[in-house]
Amino acid sequence: MTGTHPAKPRNDGRPPLTIYLASPRGFCAGVDRAIQIVELALQKYGAPVYVRHAIVHNRYVVDSLKAKGAVFVEELDEIPETDAPIVFSAHGVPKSVPAAARNRRMFVLDATCPLVSKVHIEAERLFERGQEILLIGHAGHPEVVGTTGQLPQGAVHLIETIDDANSFSPKDPTKLAVITQTTLSVDDTRDILAILQDRFPDIVIPRKDDICYATTNRQDAVKRIAPQCERMIVVGSPNSSNSLRLVEVAERAGCPRAMLMELSSEIDWSEFEGIRSLGVTAGASAPEVLVDSMIDAFAERFDVTVETVTTAQENISFKLPRQLREVSAA
């Protein structure tokens, strides 16, 4: 399905450019909920509201919340004794973090994405059944740190690549289970799962893919537009896993060059000389205002026509923490 975007074409000698705008793009329900939690906490309790780790991986969002009174820290020990709310980021945290918060009698609002929490619950369930657990994901990513931290040290084995899948040696090949980070490449994960299933026929795989609906939908939309785009811009931050995956997906799907940018001020115009088609999408933690700014920058230099290409409709929303529901309703 395609639609048009309000960008006025101007016939003043500027070269024509068709921008294919991927839909769905940008904020997912988990990101939307996490940002709301910080904003509503500021509204109800006043500043400061402490946030452990970037609430979502987007500098613009983080800076906007800082301007409203949010204070970002990496660890709880950076927070002084306080009655102020402490928010855990959308990526989830190891069990040791809420335990430390309880010890300090901190007032916690958990903004962990419910789809990440679902993976945490699954990991515990599998572990209790005596399964050895493989986690397909990226080392050091906060979500992977949080998921691994649900279980005792050494209980989870990280599988990052096809090579890892080929070389992994289990204690008992009949007692294996796999879970995944929610923001991975759907295709890469499918390839790794296929190898693991081939090597270990008894392996337990998720009943439903752990990769979240929003990651899958954004990748599908990019696959649809990539073949007709000479360039693709993914609006997102360099530390955003799902945004980085969109760049890879675009190039694999036939776009000659895809690039990740946070702001329109980062555009290197030499990359776009002579092009007639451009794809634009945004990672799940990038706000729409940054997409609009990117399109406006091209409209200054090109005679732009914008076509929105829609591959799915999203209407998912997640409940807010009980303490904030009445503020939201008001």
Cα 219 from chain centroid (whole Å): 12
Radius of gyration for the alpha carbons in the chain, expressed in angstroms and rounded: 21
Query: What's the rounded mean pLDDT across residues 219-227?
Result: 98
Which helix (H) or strand (E) segment is 186 a member of? helix 186-199
pTM: 0.91
Q: Which residue has the tokens 């980062």?
A: 266
Query: What's the rounded mean pLDDT across residues 177-187?
Result: 93
Reported as half-sphere exposure (CB side, CA atoms, 13 A), residue 215 has a value of: 23
- pLDDT digits over 274-315, tens only? 999 999 999 999 999 999 999 999 999 999 999 999 999 999
324-329 long-range contacts (CB < 8 A, ≥24 apart) are 324/36, 324/37, 324/40, 324/41, 324/44, 324/109, 327/40, 327/43, 327/44, 328/36, 328/40
pLDDT of 9 > 80? The answer is no
Percent of the chain, pLDDT > 90? Answer: 91
CA dist 74 and 158 (Å) reads: 23
pLDDT band at 4 (very low <50, low <70, confident <90, very high): very low
Q: H helices of 200-287, where?
A: 213-225, 241-252
Residues classed as catalytic = 143
Structural domains present in the chain: 2-27+213-310 (3.40.1010.20), 29-113 (3.40.50.11270), 115-199 (3.40.1010.20)
Strands (E), the chain: 2-4, 16-23, 49-52, 70-73, 85-88, 107-110, 132-136, 156-159, 176-180, 231-235, 257-261, 277-282, 303-310
Spatial neighbors of 252 by CB under 8 A, at least 6 apart, are 187
